Structure 1
């Protein structure tokens, strides 16, 4: 189990193209992406390549990964409901149409692409290891328990997937996957695509507000950030930079509430028995 931090709009595309060129990607590889602000850049007024985070470079990386045989998935933190998968499909067919070719092909139980009959896989909502999951082909909605989506992919493909790469813009999600997949049957690389450079330097993304629950540089995230190479001093500097920009732009009032540690998504010791049991079941013999 390893971690990696990317920074800059071109970083994901360059990584995928490099891995494909080096021959490290193949039909044994599942690459699983968050959707909002990971594959998309959060800009509602743009379309085409500009609506994709990283633009043409990301699209080329996805093309290279797919050509190498890697299986591509989306795992969103949105709630596990049928309508969420329908919404993802609608986004891929409209505003995010540049991404649609990479996330529409069906996959059989061995992880191979089925013959394209023009039909999308039915959407199913089911319980897996004690957690609800919604799935339509390679699109998953798991809530914040993304590790269960990854584990379902391993289970569903019957051993054909032997390597998992997980990519997200939220350091919390990447850290949780890093912690929860450590004993999985297939090695998992958790990749945090840090949006700082795009939000604060090149300004190709709208920055998360420092008072938002999605803000990456809050004080209570120091452990998570250190796992991905951000020291407490750098964290504090970045938080101050975001707050200074909010003041400059007249948005400081959005940060009126006191910064507090959010409620834990799950007590890993007492409530994660389903995950532990599944990891043991899938452990290599």
Structure 2
């Protein structure tokens, strides 16, 4: 195991500070975050030109370099060397917390592997900001972030997530929102409650609450702009479905159908229930059961 005592660091090594930045409103920058960015030797920024606007606002003139997805492989080695040389580094993403749907995790891992202290600062996070104002149950929750862009892969991800009873948190771009909601409707159902949270902390902050089908209609009736957090109610039947799947494990299809019949279901209803649990067409289970 490894112990880290954040503020009794090896004086020969620097510290990596993970510094959250505002998700919209610059007033959400903390005093500690500003102080840290002023005092470190180097800022590793996802997009230096974007970060410069923040630095200008708070009169911070610390040197900065880019650290993003397409240069992380060689930049990590450089940053670890800088830290090993005793310099302190702050890592920032364009908005919110580093590593949350943004670069950072690999740098943290490299620092841990090299016994370099990693110190996180608290701050803005779009997912939690949206969750507490959504009106849906805030805990437990399951943060997923961005779904896969490929349609078939997205459907597969949603089918797996449909086994969760926790409130679900997603991020989505405006041009993909309608398609994503339609896939959610296919998997979660039209009546599942959800909330679209747009432009959080900014002038045009907006919350649109309703069923998934209602939110699809909203996206088709309005100009969809801004980055979205999508909060979706968990599957309240997930626990029961998982218990049923455990109960059916090891049984043949005929035995599974007979089990539901034994609980009082009619044959066709039992066949339909087994098909639903296996995520196949009812006709397929019908044919197996009746040996057609």
Q: TM-score, normalised by structure 2?
A: 0.36
**Which structure carries more relative contact order (alpha carbon 8 Å, separation 6+)?**
1
- Determine which structure has more spread, i.e. the larger CA radius of gyration: 2
Q: TM-score, normalised by structure 1?
A: 0.37
